[in-house]
Amino acid sequence: MLVKKTSKNQITLPKEIIKNFPQIEYFEAKVEDGRIILTPVKIVSANITLEKIREKIKSLGITEEDVKEAVKWARGN
């Protein structure tokens, strides 16, 4: 499909393409081999993610001491 760049360096994605991404509001853009690649991105609040991580750690019974030991081990101390 042909897409035109505006004077403000913007493009509009055709409905035929965007209908495949109904819940996506953001795309990551990069240049690869002379092509523009758009990758759908779902934005997730850092707080929600952090809360889920804390819940998972708690459900696994991992303690603060366990984390300290894991970090110590990973650092080779």
Q: Are residues 52 and 20 part of one domain?
A: no
Number of domains composing the chain: 2
Residues 7 and 28 in one domain: yes
Are 70 and 35 members of one domain? Answer: no
- pLDDT tens, 42-56? 887 777 788 888 899
At 47, which helix (H) or strand (E)? helix 46-59
For 9-54, how does the pLDDT look when each residue is reduced to its tens digit (9 = 90+)?
A: 999 999 999 999 999 999 999 999 999 999 999 887 777 788 888 8
23, 27, 53, 67, 69 from 74: Cα distances, Å: 39, 35, 19, 10, 9
